[in-house]
């Protein structure tokens, strides 16, 4: 999709530190990490938010599976990690290409801010 930052990362037009990939999904480091491990896992095709991603056949499963693989590869899966989809402006979604934040490597407070 034109003018979408994460579509540009998928295309290689914007550089990113890629850490994991499947045919339909991509994981790359967040540019402003909020934890020692902070990776964004996205579908390579453009879906604006979680609802649109959930309506795509099996794709949300693949995003979740890659999020878990990222946590395992980072060595944070046993201690525990968090997967977050900020959805909509009030939840802090700023990039409207659906993405899962994978956060780990430090204690994560609850409730979140
Ligand atoms: P949101 O606020 O939509 O849930 O998450 C968007 C995330 O994208 C933020 O955590 C932000 O730091 C990250 N981000 C914004 N621009 C870039 C970029 O150019 N490269 C990377 N790797 N991450 C970005
Ligand atoms: Zn996009």
78 CA to middle of ligand 2, Å? Answer: 32
Q: Is 95 in the pocket of ligand 1 (CB under 6 A)?
A: yes
Closest Cα to residue 44, out of 54, 53, 31? 53
- What confidence score (pLDDT) does residue 1 get? 84
87 CA to middle of ligand 1, Å? Answer: 14
* Model confidence pLDDT, tens digit, residues 56-77: 999 999 999 999 999 999 999 9
Which ligand has its closest atom nearest to the C-alpha of 34? 1
Query: CA-CA distance, 31 to 33, in Å (whole number)?
Result: 6
26 CA to middle of ligand 1, Å? Answer: 14
Catalytic annotation on 46? Answer: no
Tell me if the pTM is above 0.95: yes
Ranges of residues in the chain whose predicted pLDDT is under 70: none
């Amino acid at each position: 999709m034109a003018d979408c930052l994460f579509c540009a990362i998928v295309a290689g037009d914007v550089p990113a530190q890629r850490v994991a990939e499947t045919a339909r999904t991509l994981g790359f480091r967040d540019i402003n990490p909020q934890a020692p491990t902070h990776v964004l896992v996205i579908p390579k095709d453009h879906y604006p938010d979680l609802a649109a991603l959930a309506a795509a056949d099996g794709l949300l499963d693949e995003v979740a599976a890659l999020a878990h693989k990222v946590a395992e590869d980072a060595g944070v899966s046993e201690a525990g990690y968090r997967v977050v989809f900020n959805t909509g402006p009030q939840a802090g979604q700023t990039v409207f290409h659906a993405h899962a934040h994978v956060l780990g490597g430090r204690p994560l407070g609850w409730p979140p801010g």
